[in-house]
Structure 1
Amino acid sequence: MVMGLVMIKNEDQGYEILASARTEHRQRAMYDGQVHDVEEVARAVIRVKEILEKKLNVPLKQVAVAAAGRALRTEVAVAEHKELLPVRWEREDVLALEMEAVHLALRQLKTSADDASQSYHCVGYNPIARWNEGEEISSLIGQRGKVAKVSVIATFLPRTVVDGLVAVLSRVGLEMTSLTLEPIAAGQAAIPVNMRRLNLALVDIGAGTADIALTRNGSFFAYGMVPMAGDAVTEEICAHYLLDFKVGEKVKRDLNTKAELNFKDFLGAKVVVKKEEVIKIIQSVVGKIAENISGEIMNLNNEVPQAVILIGGGSLTPMLSEMLAETLGIPQNRVGIQVRERLSEIYGEKSIKGPESITPIGIGIAALEGSGLQYYTVRVNGARVSIFELQLATVAEALLAAGILPRSFFGKLGTALTFEWNHEMRVIKGTMGSAAQLLVNDKPSKLDQALKVGDDIVFVPGEPGEDAQVCFKDILPPAESKWIVWNGNQKEFSPQVFVNQELACETDEILDGYKITYLPNDNLENLCNQMGYDLQKKEIEIYINGEKQIFKLTHELLVNGCGVDSSHIVRAGDSIEVRLRQITVGELKLEAKPITFSVNGMHLEYPPQEKIILFHGRPILEDQPLIDGMDLRVEGYKKMPILTDLLPYVKFPDELLPGASLKLSVNGIPAEFTTVLHPGDRILATFE
């Protein structure tokens, strides 16, 4: 059914209905509040429009409508923007970030929706929180940082719902100026403001859905929906008696006025049936509707409400109010049907009455009070875009509604180039992208400019910035080559650049992630590195009499004959000598060790007679440089001593007995003066 009202507001008496009209669809054209057959719905609307125009004798151009309460969706989303270096967040940056959050909310909605292909209109959004560098802040505008983040709550309606309504209205020459939701509209009319302090449940039972609104403490605080209503009852009757849907609707309505029902089934057979029999057939489906509505009320309210108010044509379904009272566990008199006749502030034409008139009256009240979503159209690049003014619509919101992504509001920053320079991280930024060009009615505009009906927007996306691109010669410090003399040879001393340890040319391009080593032609250390001369101290390992010793060799640095260190600045024409300072055998100051013997039980050290240094068994001179791994032996004798060589070191008694003779032994064996000795020998020399 399509119903139309023309209403005005009278400050003294309330709301006056100037004219009303209603008509039935010739066939089922809407399901669950969604237009499925645009032409059929348009035919019904134009009949209502023509009746109203005839009654009032004025043309009708604008209309306020309501969408099913189940259609509204809300999502919370967070968007973040990062910069390599701190920047100042301007109004345009913040607005673009908010638009990005709305776009993310839309993507979340599509992901969570039952039908992923469903498209939605954003009908408004509000920022919830803002952060700069991780700290929550009341406003980002004018703040400075590298990371900005916003959280928004965005409200959406399915695009098919709105587009279906708009398509129908455009067919009949009507412009939609206000859109409200059915449960909101119904609440405007069915429950006076002074009754909303009670905990009441308003249930608008239509054809495909039962919309629920709950009041408490002076306002509506929750909305819900059950996807089952009057059409389910009609379909049960049609299935049982094999009826066309339109005939089934008539049978359902006649249950409230006739005791005996007469109709023909789809095959033309005449059927006469008692009212009680049909009620028995629909009892189970009515019980299911009551059970679903009660469950949703308890889910939203968390307790049994004080009363339930039914409106809509489906509220007249037999047994529904009784079953609702039973499932909720409240008295029967606490479940009632609200009708136009009991609305004290509504007067005027009397032909519109009953519970089905409450929602249309509520739509009129919402439009007159300006509480609906104000709807108008603008043009974006020549295409018509629908705008819902939950808040003052801006150019940014129009672009979002037109499907233009927020990232195109500003040209993307060119990709930065990051590399290591002598172990220090360096970044070269890409160029800034150009901002999008915006014209509203051929005049330059900004994203936050408010729109009005019929505005024409031209949007040219921002151009991305250029990626960072640089060659070595662009960043090398200014330096000139120097000609010097290196160890007697003339050489050119120039700066050098290495990439990943490979020599690079100054005309080469620097790529992202390069590890660059730059050697300037300044001091002696860099010159040695270029010439492949390692100035690190060199260790050599030698053995002296089998004992390992380590020595560190240093370098001699001479510039123009003068000794210098590695930090000495090299100038053009300098004569440079660099060599490893050798250590000679003589610098070790090696000494031969004495040979030890035991003489008459006393320890005796026989001193070396000379110093002989051997390498590979051959004597070497003291000016011989040390060689890594050299094995030296130091000896103090050309040949081992004989027994007579030790006698001067033996202490004998001061007085000897007459006729005493010298007795000699080595290691207990009798010996002669010429017996050759060896280290550690035990010698006895006594007189007998």
Structure 2
Amino acid sequence: MILKQHENGKYEILHKKMIEHEERSMLDGQIHHIPAVARVIRTIKNELELEVGQLTKVCVAAAGRALKTVKGRSEKDLSLGDISSQEEVIHMELAAVQQAQFQLASLLDESSNLLYDCVGYSVLHYYLDEHEIGSFIGQQGNRASVEVIATFLPRVVVDSLMKALDEAGLEMEALTLEPIAAINVLIPPSMRKLNVALVDIGAGTSDIAITAQGTVIAYGMVPIAGDEITEAVSSAFLLDFPVAEQLKRSLTEKTVVTYTDILGFPSQKDTSEVILTIDHSIEILADGITKEILRLNAKAPQAIMLVGGGSLTPQLREKVAEKLNLPIERVAIRGLNAIQTLIPSLKEEGPELVTPVGIGIAAKENPVKYVTVSVNGKTIRLFQVKKLTIGDALIAGGADLSKLYGKPGMGLMVRLNGAVKMFKGKIGSAPSIEMNGVPCTLSDEVLEGATIHYEAGHNGNDAEISIREAFDDHSVKTLWVNGKEETFETHYYINEQRVSLNTFIRDRDDCYYRFPSTLSDIFDLKGWNPETKRSHFTIFVDGKALALPTKLTDLVHLNDQSVHQHTSWNDGDRLVYQRVEEEQVTLKLITDALDLNLHQSCTVIFNEEELTLVRPLYSFYREEEKLRMDSVLHAQERLVMKKTDQQPFIFQDVFTKVELTLQPKPGESLILLKNGEKAGFQTDIQTGDELLLKFEVLV
């Protein structure tokens, strides 16, 4: 068929030719015998060329049964980096398309070896944390995702079409899809608010498209059509397939039909009898169509349009209406006169030409063109249902888009001074893409014959951070300690272990820093313990060490002011710390500690009063100095202890403890008594003796 487009937008059929296939070289809309189909195409081409001259290009349609639409989804973890460019958004869209392609492969039968090419996609939704959003760029969140619907065609369908055309000497100028062709010419956008089903009943398939709410809401296909009715006629009356096809067509035109079966016997039958014989097959066709409509639409539509040669099948219209519980006038067979953009011809044409005219118009107004490119040395053919991009070419070339951009490096989650902090890994690099040697992006348009080369981006390095980088607070201060200048700086710890500034942090480490900002911190670093108030005083007696517990007092002065150990200090301050004895150590403390019998004693009763006499048994010397019991000693001094020879006490020793004023009266004499008996000054005395001193008049 040759169409002409007029300036007013109307189309006119200039030439048309129709030839029956001599054999069933196409089954269910798929070419099964390329040479046979090529012969038919060549025959029609030759006949048309006799009328219009040489023909080199042609518009064709791919079977609707081969079209696959699948939803895909891709996600990105925003904790690893925000989306800052449209290029990243396109990468997510294409990753969703590729996910749909993988999903399609999983849905196919395992025995299927069909390869599907994406011929277009549309974005359905952008989501941020599962809430729909208009754009990702600049948004803050945890997870971004995009959902697309992608359309695929088996590569073998298009390849077989192009091969048949090539053998017939024709080049494909544009491609459209059969389900789209008829609905575009019969149901324009202004009519699509109505819930209408269009059924294109061809030879091998019945393609269904449904409109509602201003758009095409669904496409479907039933793998039975006119050929099944022809086969029923052939089986019932023993007819060759072409003969059965002619008989089937005559059922709508004649009341009586004649035929000759394969055995050579001629027959004549009423049309009604033939229709009754094949009624079961018509029932199966009507049932398949209506069930698919209900599956796609969930209810009976408002109206149904039947097109295609198979729509003329007797009783089919009535059975469809009955099964959908629609009035018969709501199911109509539409011909060329229903196409508003087509200039009507003088001869009324039937429904079999609606789809060919729709193919011609759709191929001109909404063509699916194709371009051939090379991707990393591999030749790829892309079908253009939208503006083709470098991203489309990479998908067709088998690029794994999930690995196209380098992944971000692993992050670190650590605790810094009690607060959890995340350090991100380095962002992965973008892929290197060139078209014809010039750098390009995923969104750039593909050029016909372009040579595309790409290299995947490199993964980002894992987060690597040192203590120096994690903490920006590092202090160094000077403190004068007991007259000596000392430097103190911030200390850093990982999991309670002190580390240097150059130590690298690992995931989940607990890190903190501490500056010795108080005098208590300085004491800890110096090993001083002001809290200890007891110490030991060591002295040597006759070469043997003697340790005595003693109380200490801490004297802490900062800049000549008395302070406590928790006082803070500043750079350049002066600290004086001393520990002094709280009490003096005398010889008395030393002798008490020696636990020796240091004295000789004697207790007597003198003039009716108890009196104890004491004589030291030991003497202590510090070098040549003889020490008294109240002599003050110093730590580490060396003393010499000398023992005195032990002598008995005598009466005279009493007078070292008592003071007597001896004033005898005239004629009196001094009398000394020991236990009632006379004694003298040199008389030995012992503990318990009773001593008496008195004056008597001598007779």
TM-score w.r.t. length of structure 1 = 0.64
Report the equivalent of 1:594.
none
Q: Give SS of 1:286's match.
A: helix
List runs of 5+ in structure 1 lacking aligned partners. Answer: 538-554, 582-688
Cα gap change, 1:29/1:528 in structure 2, threshold over 3 Å: closer, same or farther? farther
Report the equivalent of 2:311.
315
Report the equivalent of 2:426.
431
Aligned residue identity for 2:432: Q
Aligned residue identity for 1:311: V
Report the equivalent of 2:565.
565
Q: Does 1:469 align with 2:467?
A: no
Q: Is the 8 A contact 2:230 2:244 kept in 1?
A: yes
Q: Give a deviation string over 1:225-259, Cα, whole Å, max 9, x none.
A: 33322233344456667877667656645655672
Aligned residue identity for 1:416: G
Q: Give SS of 2:407's match.
A: coil
In 1, distance between residues paired with 2:212 and 2:130? 38
1:246-325 equivalence runs, <5 A: 249=245, 252-253=248-249, 259-264=257-262, 274=269, 279-297=275-293, 308-325=304-321
Q: Give SS of 2:508's match.
A: coil
1:137-152 equivalence runs, <5 A: 137-141=133-137, 143-147=138-142, 149=144, 151-152=146-147
Q: Is the 8 A contact 2:194 2:211 kept in 1?
A: yes
Q: Which moved more, 1:38-47 or 1:282-291?
A: 38-47
Q: Give SS of 2:278's match.
A: helix
Q: Give a deviation string over 1:322-363, Cα, whole Å, max 9, x none.
A: 323433445556544334477686569999954322101111
In 2, distance between residues paired with 1:578 and 1:311? 112
Q: Is the 8 A contact 1:339 1:357 kept in 2?
A: yes
Report the equivalent of 1:208.
204
Report the equivalent of 1:398.
393
Q: Give a deviation string over 1:81-131, Cα, whole Å, max 9, x none.
A: 40356x572222333233334444445555566779765444434445546
Q: Give SS of 1:158's match.
A: strand
Aligned residue identity for 1:63: C
Q: Is the 8 A contact 1:19 1:349 kept in 2?
A: no
In 1, distance between residues paired with 2:346 and 2:531? 108
Cα gap change, 1:350/1:51 in structure 2, threshold over 3 Å: closer, same or farther? farther
In 2, distance between residues paired with 1:529 and 1:107? 66
Q: Give SS of 1:145's match.
A: coil
Q: Give SS of 1:392's match.
A: coil
CA shift at 1:278, angstroms? 5.0
Aligned residue identity for 2:452: I
In 1, distance between residues paired with 2:123 and 2:170? 34
CA shift at 1:8, angstroms? 1.6
Report the equivalent of 1:441.
436
In 2, distance between residues paired with 1:194 and 1:517? 70
In 2, distance between residues paired with 1:460 and 1:186? 43
In 2, distance between residues paired with 1:481 and 1:386? 72
CA shift at 1:184, angstroms? 2.8
1:281-680 equivalence runs, <5 A: 281-297=277-293, 308-330=304-326, 332=328, 335-340=331-336, 346=342, 354-368=350-364, 370-470=365-465, 499-501=494-496, 509-516=504-511, 518=513, 564-566=564-566
Q: Is the 8 A contact 2:197 2:305 kept in 1?
A: yes
Report the equivalent of 1:15.
11
Aligned residue identity for 2:10: G
In 1, distance between residues paired with 2:555 and 2:563? 6
Aligned residue identity for 1:565: Q
Report the equivalent of 1:6.
2
Q: Give a deviation string over 1:503-541, Cα, whole Å, max 9, x none.
A: 66877654322334556676666667779999999xxxx
Report the equivalent of 1:63.
59
In 2, distance between residues paired with 1:152 and 1:39? 42
Q: Give SS of 1:396's match.
A: helix
CA shift at 1:564, angstroms? 4.2
In 2, distance between residues paired with 1:65 and 1:495? 78
Aligned residue identity for 1:462: G
Aligned residue identity for 1:181: L
Q: Which moved more, 1:62-71 or 1:278-287?
A: 62-71
List runs of 5+ in structure 2 lacking aligned partners. Answer: 533-552, 583-699
Aligned residue identity for 1:100: A
CA shift at 1:283, angstroms? 1.4
CA shift at 1:59, angstroms? 3.3
CA shift at 1:68, angstroms? 0.8
In 1, distance between residues paired with 2:177 and 2:385? 13
Q: Is the 8 A contact 1:557 1:566 kept in 2?
A: no
Aligned residue identity for 1:211: D
Q: Is the 8 A contact 1:519 1:526 kept in 2?
A: no
In 2, distance between residues paired with 1:6 and 1:14? 14
Q: Give SS of 1:365's match.
A: helix
Q: Give a deviation string over 1:410-466, Cα, whole Å, max 9, x none.
A: 332222233234433344433332222222332222333234444433322222222
1:125-140 equivalence runs, <5 A: 125-130=121-126, 137-140=133-136
In 2, distance between residues paired with 1:22 and 1:557? 119
Q: Is the 8 A contact 1:20 1:352 kept in 2?
A: no
Aligned residue identity for 1:463: H
Report the equivalent of 1:182.
178
Q: Give SS of 1:361's match.
A: helix
Aligned residue identity for 1:202: L
Report the equivalent of 1:158.
153
Cα gap change, 1:153/1:84 in structure 2, threshold over 3 Å: closer, same or farther? closer
Give the number of the structure whose alpha-carbon radius of gyration is greater.
2
Aligned residue identity for 1:358: V
Aligned residue identity for 2:394: L
Q: Does 1:95 align with 2:93?
A: no
In 1, distance between residues paired with 2:48 and 2:232? 35
Alignment size in residue pairs: 551
In 1, distance between residues paired with 2:235 and 2:526? 99
Q: Does 1:33 align with 2:29?
A: yes
In 1, distance between residues paired with 2:229 and 2:286? 12
State, as a whole percentage, how many aligned pairs show the same letter: 33
Report the equivalent of 1:83.
79
CA shift at 1:287, angstroms? 0.7
Cα gap change, 1:200/1:408 in structure 2, threshold over 3 Å: closer, same or farther? closer
Q: Give SS of 2:78's match.
A: strand
Q: Is the 8 A contact 2:336 2:344 kept in 1?
A: no
Q: Give SS of 1:462's match.
A: coil
Q: Give SS of 1:435's match.
A: coil
Cα gap change, 1:140/1:12 in structure 2, threshold over 3 Å: closer, same or farther? closer
